[in-house]
Amino acid sequence: MSSITFLCSKSNGSNNHSDVQKGKPTSAFASASASVAVVAAAASGLLTIAVPPQQQSKVKAAAAVAKTNGHIDDRSDVTEPLYVDLGNGTVGGGDLNCCPASPTTVPTKTALESPMRRAGRRQRTTSIGNQTTTANPSECIIRANNRTIYTAGRPPWYNCAGQQVEPFVIGICGGSASGKTTVAEKIIESLDVPWVTLLSMDCFYKILNEKQHEQALINEYNFDHPDAFDIELLVDVLTKLKEGRKVEVPVYNFVTHGRETQTKTMYGANVIIFEGILTFHSPEVLKLLDMKIFVDTDPDIRLARRLKRDISQRGRELRGVLKQYLNMVKPSYANYIAPTMAHADIIVPRGGENKVAIHLIVQHVHTQLQLRGFKLRETLANSYKDQPMPHSLHLLDPTPQIKGLHTFIRCRNTSRDEFIFYSKRLIRLVIEYALSLFPFKLTTVETPQGVLYEGKRMSSRKICGVSILRAGETMEQAVCDVCKDIRIGKILIQTNLKTGEPELYYLRLPKDIKDYKVILMDATVATGAAAMMAIRVLLDHDVPEDNIILASLLMAEIGVHSIAYAFPKVKIVTSALDPEINSKFYVIPGIGNFGDRYFGTEPSDDY
């Protein structure tokens, strides 16, 4: 019953031009289905593989989706129910394991919501940033639906040297109402990758002028023609996403046929899915795609869906819809869309209900992600043994006072009252020291005593503190105490207990942070994975590397090495350096979980 068509431009993937890892896809598919019968001839390059119907893909509900296309809302009827039965009847059971590393009070209920409820959820693309008040919406950073917040954050999008790893870009093409979005959603769910960015081509419609606008109103403007899209902008956005940078994606308004003044902020992710009717049209876009999927749905079904959507959801006349379909949509499909099927790596018949096809696609993506090395923490913990300390490390003088303070805060029997008091004292010293590492210039001032005094002033007063939540937040007060009117940014990074990887949940930074000297604060640094992620975030916001100081109370040698290797210009300030970390990534002898001890949220048995 189930069958997938692999279309290769020549024979057997040899000309898989866009794929970085040649040859890999074929092996991934072969291993995916045990009993595969090759039916068609290879000479034409068209392989049809029939798979027994019982070989259903088990789909795990997970995957946070970063979505931008706001108007996708009114197409929900195109989408089949989102969630596939897990076999044992529970939905989204796996999500609970991905809750943040530290005990939190966030409701985990969301993960258990019914499929329909969640299908409804996707109509809103909210982010934490949106929920809080903000002067500038473009600074609401992480675009995600609600699941992201509670189940998983953004995992590392760079390798252990801190360099960007190119994300895997999947292009999905297909005729209007063929179920591209459904396929994309299903891939995202099955991927079980915590951070996926979904970009729709609909965002890139050109702004219509007066005349075109009128045409559009009487269904005479051709939205299905390649010229209707701003390909230049599209290539620019997609290229930036592929570099892991922040982009502003336009929001297209289908009523005014213009762009909203607000844009959606998107980040690159490990996996980027780009879907649209003319995804494969531009050769430049084709070059950016690592995997090309064509969704081939029967024209009758597509027309039926389109009629239903346009009439019931967009309140349009049957006649007008049909006119548009016959005059524009259908010819465009024949002229521009269907021919691009030749570029596809995989053709998925019947769209989103084709579970086997989606399973195979997911297998391939997993293989690719593993090859790209997104496993970070373990790599970090096992490198750099017995190396001399890097020059970027600035260790506070181990005076008796600092050792005494450490004795207090490290002792497991210290009461919270004392712990807070003594850690605050220590933090103050660390921050004062960190400030001295910023550039200063010589200056001469007049004194009331009538003599001139040669002294120094900081070259730039533009200093910004950025704390890595939660433990880093404890250092904010000290920064405010030493710098008047300092700006504070926040980054929330939590460790995923299941994978041990840091994940980015939330970030809020001053708008023009690139002009600021940044003191990045985290109470303890073990492997340095969270700190590296935070530094990476700052770099992605165009903060120059040598403007960053990482201040911390305690660091493990490994963490210092990793950070210094990845970001040699970042100055690292700490009051103590410990030699080891244990299997749970705690520093030894260490402080324990600083945040838990400071805020009083220790679990009953942690270590």
Which CB atom, from 271 or from 381, has the smaller least distance to another protein? 381
Decide if 566 contacts 160 (C-beta within 8 A): yes
- Using CB under 8 A, which of the segments 157-165, 304-312, 366-374, 439-447 binds another protein? 439-447
Which is it for the CA torsion 49, 52, 53, 59, positive or negative?
Answer: negative
Tell me which of 120, 455, 544, 568 binds another protein, using CB under 8 A: 455
Which CB atom, from 319 or from 412, has the smaller least distance to another protein? 412
C-alpha span between 153 and 148 (Å, rounded): 6
Number of other CB atoms surrounding residue 477 within 10 Å: 13
Tell me which of 50, 101, 341, 437 binds another protein, using CB under 8 A: 437
Which CB atom, from 252 or from 586, has the smaller least distance to another protein? 586
Which CB atom, from 314 or from 461, has the smaller least distance to another protein? 461
Per CB under 8 A, 401 contacts another protein: yes
Total residues interacting with another protein, rule: CB under 8 A: 57
Residue type, position 127, single letter: S
Per CB under 8 A, 407 contacts another protein: yes
In angstroms, what is the minimal distance from the CB of 422 to another protein?
10
Which CB atom, from 54 or from 604, has the smaller least distance to another protein? 604
In angstroms, what is the minimal distance from the CB of 11 to another protein?
59
In angstroms, what is the minimal distance from the CB of 393 to another protein?
15
Which CB atom, from 206 or from 425, has the smaller least distance to another protein? 425
Give the helix, strand, coil percentages of the chain, each rounded to 5: 40, 20, 40
Tell me which of 287, 416, 457, 511 binds another protein, using CB under 8 A: 457
Q: How far from 68 is each of 117, 284, 417, CA to CA, in Å?
A: 20, 22, 46
Q: How far from 498 is each of 73, 98, 100, CA to CA, in Å?
A: 33, 6, 9
Tell me which of 141, 191, 329, 591 binds another protein, using CB under 8 A: 591
Per CB under 8 A, 430 contacts another protein: no
C-alpha span between 566 and 152 (Å, rounded): 25
Per CB under 8 A, 254 contacts another protein: no
User: In 390-514, which ranges are continuous DSSP H helix?
Assistant: 400-410, 416-435, 476-482
Tell me which of 300, 397, 415, 583 binds another protein, using CB under 8 A: 397
Which residues have CB under 8 Å from 315's CB, separation 6+? none
Tell me which of 137, 159, 299, 440 binds another protein, using CB under 8 A: 440
Per CB under 8 A, 261 contacts another protein: no
Number of other CB atoms surrounding residue 212 within 10 Å: 16
In angstroms, what is the minimal distance from the CB of 572 to another protein?
15
Tell me which of 53, 81, 404, 600 binds another protein, using CB under 8 A: 404
Per CB under 8 A, 453 contacts another protein: yes
Per CB under 8 A, 451 contacts another protein: yes
Decide if 281 contacts 227 (C-beta within 8 A): no
User: In 353-457, which ranges are continuous DSSP H helix?
Assistant: 355-371, 377-381, 400-410, 416-435
195: nearest Cα among 223, 163, 226, 165: 165
Tell me which of 131, 163, 312, 459 binds another protein, using CB under 8 A: 459
- Using CB under 8 A, which of the segments 31-39, 344-352, 358-366, 403-411 binds another protein? 403-411
In angstroms, what is the minimal distance from the CB of 500 to another protein?
17
Find the largest Cα–Cα distance for the chain: 98
Token digits of residue 352: 């989103």
In angstroms, what is the minimal distance from the CB of 573 to another protein?
12
In angstroms, what is the minimal distance from the CB of 160 to another protein?
24
Per CB under 8 A, 229 contacts another protein: no
- Using CB under 8 A, which of the segments 96-104, 159-167, 234-242, 448-456 binds another protein? 448-456
Interactions with another protein, residue window 137-156 (CB under 8 A): none
Number of other CB atoms surrounding residue 342 within 10 Å: 12
Q: Which helix (H) or strand (E) holds 47?
A: strand 46-51
Per CB under 8 A, 458 contacts another protein: yes
Which CB atom, from 287 or from 569, has the smaller least distance to another protein? 569
Q: What is the CA radius of gyration of the chain?
A: 27
Token digits of residue 394: 């600035």
Identify the residue whose tokens are 């956005």: 237
In angstroms, what is the minimal distance from the CB of 424 to another protein?
9
In angstroms, what is the minimal distance from the CB of 378 to another protein?
20
Token digits of residue 99: 């809750």
Which CB atom, from 254 or from 607, has the smaller least distance to another protein? 607
Per CB under 8 A, 569 contacts another protein: no
Decide if 588 contacts 388 (C-beta within 8 A): no
What's the chain's length in residues?
607
Per CB under 8 A, 399 contacts another protein: yes
In angstroms, what is the minimal distance from the CB of 389 to another protein?
17
Identify the residue whose tokens are 């120094």: 456
In angstroms, what is the minimal distance from the CB of 465 to another protein?
15
C-alpha span between 187 and 357 (Å, rounded): 10
Concatenated DSSP letters of 190-244: HH--S-EEEEEGGGGBPPP-HHHHHHHHTT-S-TTSGGGB-HHHHHHHHHHHHTT
In angstroms, what is the minimal distance from the CB of 606 to another protein?
8
Per CB under 8 A, 592 contacts another protein: yes
User: Across 80-125, where does the E strand assignment appear?
Assistant: none
Tell me which of 47, 435, 513, 519 binds another protein, using CB under 8 A: 435
Interactions with another protein, residue window 463-492 (CB under 8 A): 482, 484
Tell me which of 245, 330, 425, 490 binds another protein, using CB under 8 A: 425
**Please, what's the b/e burial string for 30-64 (b: 16 or more CB within 10 A of its CB; e: otherwise)?**
eebbeebeeeeeeeebebbbbbeeeeebebbbbbb
Q: From its phi and psi, is residue 52 left (phi > 0), alpha (psi between -120 and 50) or beta? A: beta
Per CB under 8 A, 388 contacts another protein: no
Which residues contact another protein by CB under 8 A? 397, 399-401, 403-404, 406-407, 410-413, 421, 425, 428-429, 432-433, 435-459, 482, 484, 582, 586-593, 597, 606-607
